[in-house]
């Protein structure tokens, strides 16, 4: 199976390990990732204003390129996934946004929302299957107690993201089980890490991240996994909890278990 | 430049695409909000004030700069009101005004540490400036 792949800016810089481990693992699993040759930054936050057209264009261009290649568009970063998936929904449901965005795309075939956006975890669940993933594991993570940290962007709003049950998700726990480790359920797994607020509101960021860490520690997690570079940063750098809680990218543990 | 109140009300409605009159005052948004205790106006109050046309007061609110855009309120609102989208609309009205920026390129170096992801900076520019 071949996917068009949209890595995003942070995966080329600070979160290189999220990208590289993801590529190594996909190759080992027989999934081909073709990086789009001219992707642009997704803008990191979804444009909530209905009148914001320019911040939607990079997503539309990536979506249209995947449509032209007749492939699904695979994402890995939670933020890129959130932005591109929601812009795709706008194009499908909001005529004004669709027409205005397409007016900037002169010379190309109008984009109508044809492309399917697939997150890496969805690919593992729906294309490969977690049972098959379990069969391919070379070094199971036996004995590790891992807390899935979903955060916000993969899940909400549930009606648009259609990723999993937004209040009681299970996809990352199934992933952890397939790797041979033990998933730890804790109440703050789908609460916010603080997001961009870390840039200017350090106290608020510290309190928000610490609530997630304390909740996971209380329920016995040895570490957390995430698909979001900003979640990883906030948990790792801004937490003020008494005990350290390591946090890894989903693909780092996947690559470790696949021994690639 | 002092803007006419009708203009402010119409602009907030146009940018957000949200109808605050659907709100049934259940308070679930505030109960779900991870930032409510950092805000001067909690999400349910914010929605009520948009409904009452008190946009000018909302443009002065510190809540605008505390909302995390985590969409917990959007997910849990039983009436589809989207409080965080209303907050974003008012925030955009502030930063789109002359001198409305909350961040400038000059202050970035001091806010950086070695590990901060590019995603955080891009998000901050999107949230604090035009």
DSSP string covering B9-53: HHHHHHHH---GGG-----HHHHH-TTGGG-SS-HHHHHHHHHTT
**Boundary of a domain, candidates A120, A154, A189:** A120
Using CB atoms within 10 A of its CB, is residue A107 exposed (0-12), middle (13-18) or buried (19+)?
exposed
Strands A73-75 and A145-148 come out as: unpaired
> Are A37 and A111 contained in the same domain?
yes
Looking at residues B28-54, what average pLDDT do you find? 98
**Which chain B residues touch A52 with a CB distance below 8 Å?**
92
Closest C-alpha to A62, from A113, A1, A25, A21:
A113
> Are A112 and A146 contained in the same domain?
no
Residue A90 phi, psi dihedral angles, 5° rounding? -60, -45
Q: Work out the minimum CA distance from A178 to partner chain B, whole angstroms.
A: 29
> Are A219 and A251 contained in the same domain?
yes
> Are A155 and A233 contained in the same domain?
yes
Q: Do B68 and A211 touch (CB under 8 A)?
A: no
C-alpha–C-alpha distance, residues B66 and A45, integer Å = 15
What is the per-residue pLDDT for B130? Answer: 83
The ipTM of this complex is 0.96
Residue A97: CATH number of its domain = 1.20.1050.140
Q: Work out the minimum CA distance from B61 to partner chain A, whole angstroms.
A: 16
What is the per-residue pLDDT for B58? Answer: 98
Q: Do A195 and B85 touch (CB under 8 A)?
A: no
**Boundary of a domain, candidates A95, A120, A145:** A120
Looking at residues A120-142, what average pLDDT do you find? 98
- Is the bond leading into A157 cis (omega within 30 degrees of zero)? yes
Provide the domain count of chain A: 2
Closest C-alpha to A258, from A175, A153, A140:
A140
Contact (CB, 8 A) for B63 and B40: yes
- pLDDT (tens digit per residue) in A81-128: 999 999 999 999 999 999 999 999 876 699 999 999 999 999 999 999
Residue A91 phi, psi dihedral angles, 5° rounding? -65, -35
Does residue A182 carry a pLDDT above 80? yes
Q: Do B126 and A236 touch (CB under 8 A)?
A: no
DSSP H or E segment with residue A34:
strand A32-35
> Are A164 and A220 contained in the same domain?
yes
Q: Work out the minimum CA distance from B84 to partner chain A, whole angstroms.
A: 9
**Could you tell me if A17 lies within 8 Å of chain B, comparing CB atoms?**
no
Using CB atoms within 10 A of its CB, is residue A155 exposed (0-12), middle (13-18) or buried (19+)?
buried
Does residue A132 carry a pLDDT above 80? yes
> Are A92 and A187 contained in the same domain?
no
> Are A54 and A148 contained in the same domain?
no
C-alpha to C-alpha distances, A16 to A73, A123, A152, A249, B13, nearest whole angstrom: 20, 20, 22, 10, 41
pTM over 0.95: yes
Q: What mean pLDDT value characterizes chain B?
A: 95
**Which chain B residues touch A237 with a CB distance below 8 Å?**
113, 115-116
Sign of CA dihedral A57, A63, A69, A74: positive
What is the per-residue pLDDT for A253? Answer: 98
What is the per-residue pLDDT for B105? Answer: 85
**Neighbouring C-beta atoms of residue A41, cutoff 10 Å:** 15
> Are A250 and A145 contained in the same domain?
yes
**Boundary of a domain, candidates A120, A148, A167:** A120
**Could you tell me if B127 lies within 8 Å of chain A, comparing CB atoms?**
yes
Q: Work out the minimum CA distance from B14 to partner chain A, whole angstroms.
A: 7
Q: Which of A15, A48, A230 sits opposite B88 (nearest CB)?
A: A48
> Are A6 and A107 contained in the same domain?
yes
Residue A172: CATH number of its domain = 3.40.50.11810
Structure tokens at A182: 């033990």
> Are A180 and A240 contained in the same domain?
yes
> Are A171 and A107 contained in the same domain?
no
> Are A86 and A198 contained in the same domain?
no
What is the per-residue pLDDT for A241? Answer: 85
Q: Work out the minimum CA distance from A233 to partner chain B, whole angstroms.
A: 7
Nearest chain A Cα to B74, which residue? A157
Q: Do A44 and B119 touch (CB under 8 A)?
A: yes
Domain B5-97 has CATH 1.10.1060.10: yes
CA geometry: angle A150, A156, A157, nearest 5 deg: 170
What is the per-residue pLDDT for B88? Answer: 98
Contact (CB, 8 A) for B11 and B53: no
Give me the domain span that covers residue A50.
2-120
Does residue A245 carry a pLDDT above 60? yes
**Could you tell me if A27 lies within 8 Å of chain B, comparing CB atoms?**
no
Strand order of the β-sheet with A182-184 is: A182-184, A145-148, A223-226, A247-249
């Amino acid at each position: 199976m071949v996917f068009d792949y949209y890595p995003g800016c942070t995966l080329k810089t600070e979160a290189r390990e999220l990208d590289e481990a993801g590529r190594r693992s996909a190759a080992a699993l027989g999934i081909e990732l073709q990086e789009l040759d001219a992707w642009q930054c997704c803008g990191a936050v979804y444009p909530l204003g209905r009148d914001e057209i320019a911040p939607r264009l990079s997503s539309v261009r990536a979506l249209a390129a995947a449509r032209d290649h007749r492939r699904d568009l695979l994402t890995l970063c939670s933020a890129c996934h959130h932005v591109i998936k929601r812009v795709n929904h706008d194009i499908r449901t909001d005529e004004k946004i669709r027409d205005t965005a397409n007016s900037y795309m002169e010379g190309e075939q109008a984009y109508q929302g044809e492309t399917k956006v697939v997150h890496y975890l969805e690919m593992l669940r729906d294309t490969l299957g977690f049972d098959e993933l379990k069969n391919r594991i070379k070094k199971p993570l036996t004995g590790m107690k891992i807390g899935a940290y979903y955060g916000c962007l993969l899940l909400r709003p549930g009606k648009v993201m259609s990723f999993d049950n937004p209040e009681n998700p299970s996809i990352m726990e199934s992933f952890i089980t397939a790797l041979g480790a033990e998933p730890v359920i804790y109440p703050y797994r789908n609460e916010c890490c603080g997001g961009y607020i870390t840039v200017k509101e350090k106290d608020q960021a510290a309190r928000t991240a610490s609530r997630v860490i304390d909740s996971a520690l209380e329920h016995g997690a040895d570490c957390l996994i995430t698909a979001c570079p900003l979640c990883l940063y906030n948990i790792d750098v801004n937490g003020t909890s008494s005990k350290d809680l390591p946090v890894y990218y989903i693909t780092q543990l996947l690559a470790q278990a696949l021994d690639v | 430049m002092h803007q006419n109140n009708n203009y402010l009300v119409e602009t907030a409605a146009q940018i957000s695409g949200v109808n605050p009159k659907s709100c049934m005052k259940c308070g679930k948004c505030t109960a779900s909000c991870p930032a409510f205790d950092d805000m001067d106006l909690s999400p349910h109050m914010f929605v009520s004030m948009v409904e009452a046309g008190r946009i000018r007061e909302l443009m002065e609110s510190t809540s605008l700069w505390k909302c995390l855009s985590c969409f917990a309120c959007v997910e849990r609102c039983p009436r589809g009101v989207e409080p965080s989208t209303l907050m974003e609309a008012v925030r955009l009205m502030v930063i789109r005004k002359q001198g409305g920026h909350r961040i400038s390129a000059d202050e970035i170096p001091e806010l950086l540490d070695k590990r901060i992801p590019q995603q955080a900076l891009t998000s901050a520019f999107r949230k604090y400036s035009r």
